A and B are shown apart, each in its own frame.
Chain A
Amino acid sequence: MRELICIVCPRGCHMRVDGDLNVTGNFCPRGEAYAKAELTHPTRVVTSTVRITGAAYPRCPVKTAAPVPKEKIFDVMDAIGRVTLSAPVRVGQTVIEDVCGTGVAVVAAREMP
């Protein structure tokens, strides 16, 4: 039996998972999915910034378009750190297509005209 707190939404359900991956204490199905993933292959969305030239500010916020394996977080950060964009950038624009072989894209999270 393992206890964990759901991070899917701010509600923060206190959940219990047994050895057969039966989840209790979750308010919604997303909690169950999170609990199962957390015990088998935990993932996180990574948010950070990349350099940008020609915009009002020197950094553009980005995020992974989907969660990536937790153990790859720092590799993803390294890859993000090597990118420089130039303005204009549209929200949702792809910044890195397949980051660190995860199959997940890094996308811009705001308009930088």
Chain B
Amino acid sequence: MYELIVVGGGPAGLAAACAAWDSGLRHILIVERDRELGGILNQCIHNGFGLTWFKEELTGPEYAHRFIELLARTGVEVRTDTMVLDVTADLRVHMTGPATGYRIERAKSVILAMGCRERTRGAIGIPGTRPAGVYTAGAAQRYVNVEGWLPGRRVVILGSGDIGLIMARRMTLEGAKVLACVEVMPYSGGLTRNIVQCLQDFDIPLYLSHTVTQIRGRDRVEQVVVSRVDEKRAPIPGTEMVFDCDTLLLSVGLIPENELTERAGVEMDPRTKGAVVYENMETSVPGVFTCGNVTHVHDLVDFVSAESQRAGTAAAKYVLHGPAAGESVSLKNGPGVSYTVPQRVRPQNVEKAFNVFFRVNRIFGKSEIVVRARERELCRFKRDRLAPGEMENITVPVKLLEGVTGDVTVEIREV
């Protein structure tokens, strides 16, 4: 019987396992389906990781390496090349891999850290033929950075998520011509710095409020048609631009990979597509915690590490000292906010303050983030600019929740 089984050996699983060890657990197992630890960081060879967590600028593999080294100093057991098939509500973890065969391991707590996957062409339904040459940006990233294949020479990128922007630069550096980055929304879905250093540095045009309306080609992509869209994101006839290209990369969103979470009977949040969590990253199933991109999609791995550390510490506390106590208040998203994590807070379980992570649903100029319980304002935070592509977070002192029952709302007021 393990004290803790961590499902997933990416940045979330690594930070969670290290924190649980530091908090006193000694029988911890990480189960990872890949051949090595580090997860998607291993293919993110660009820099910009770690500025918050390590106070220096690292590449993805270096960031992973730091945590793998920390883990090596613990007694945490690791099974790579092993796939978890099922996690039950009584904390039995079913797994299989060539080294062990089919195994069922029991645990006192489980941390779900499976990360997310990319939305594909099927998810967004682009009309046209079905030629080779349509890749998700992350798949192309793996081909280029890990396997050493260049997936195409003339490239159009649909979606301005960070991976798409990063791949625009990467493909350009490797000799491909990136003709355009096309974004259906009137603003970019990626970090502003990536617009600058990945597109503007290489004179790659960004077409906002545009989308791909057709893919042409028999065996291989030959052309894509790009059209302007109206406020309702419907293509406007007569605005078509045709790009001669052999490759279309899709950077159209990430979906938390929650099949195991749902099978375990965990309550889900349709807004984040992840589990509903308490302030300590615990789910509705006692002893089951979740952290990282499987909970909500982050922009920065540094925040994944911080969140996962909280999950690891909380799992250790659960195993060593029993379940967290106390009534909870629900956090609701008010005007301007599309979701919050956590969704529930138990004031009794918070020492001084708790963090709330959220995204806004459009671009805001100078604004205030207002936290209120019904009509009573609890606190407010000033921001110069808020954008959906950049996750926000606020720290709320728990003493403000004294006497509050029911819901607490987070909303944006432009000033």
Contact = CB atoms under 8 A, between A and B. Distances in A.
A44 to B, nearest CB: 7
Contact of A63 (B59, B145, B195): B59
Interface stretch (A16-24, A54-62, A94-102): A54-62
A91 B197 CA distance: 25
A5 B192 contact: yes
Interface in B179-227: 191-193, 195-197, 201
B350 interface: no
Given A109-B61, A110-B62, A10 B193 contact: yes
A82 to B, nearest CB: 14
A85 interface: no
B36 A7 contact: no
Contacts of A109: 45, 59, 61-62
B148 interface: yes
Contact of B57 (A4, A45, A74, A77): A45
B393 to A, nearest CB: 12
Contacts of B146: 57, 59
Contacts of A7: 193, 196-197
B96 to A, nearest CB: 22
A12 interface: yes
Interface string B36-76: 10000010011110010000010111101100000000000
A5 B193 contact: yes
A48 B44 CA distance: 10
Contacts of B123: none
A44 B201 contact: yes
B385 interface: yes
Interface string A71-86: 0011001000000000
Contacts of B124: none
Interface centre among B61, B197, B201, by most A CB within 10 Å?
Answer: B61
A48 B65 contact: no
Given A47-B59, A61-B45, A70-B201, A5 B196 contact: yes
Contacts of B46: 47
Interface residues of B, number: 34
Interface string B10-40: 0000000000000000000000000110000
A9 interface: yes
A44 B193 CA distance: 13
A36 interface: no
Contacts of B45: 47-49, 61, 63, 109
A7 B162 CA distance: 14
A10 B197 contact: no
B196 A61 contact: no
A46 B174 CA distance: 12
Contacts of B384: 14
A91 B62 CA distance: 7
B300 interface: yes
Nearest to B65: A91
A40 B153 CA distance: 33
A68 interface: no
Contact of B51 (A10, A51, A91): A10
Nearest to B42: A110
B402 interface: no
B173 interface: yes
A110 B173 contact: no
Contact of B299 (A10, A51, A77): A10
A63 B201 contact: no
A73 B148 contact: no
Interface in B117-168: 144-148
Given A9-B51, A110-B42, A77 B173 contact: yes
B65 to A, nearest CB: 5
B390 to A, nearest CB: 8
9 contacts: A5-B195, A10-B51, A14-B385, A45-B47, A47-B47, A57-B147, A91-B61, A109-B59, A110-B65
Interface of A: 4-10, 12, 14, 44-49, 51, 56-59, 61, 63, 70, 73-74, 77, 91, 109-111
Given A63-B47, A109-B59, A111-B65, 6 more contacts: A4-B196, A12-B193, A14-B385, A46-B173, A49-B148, A73-B173
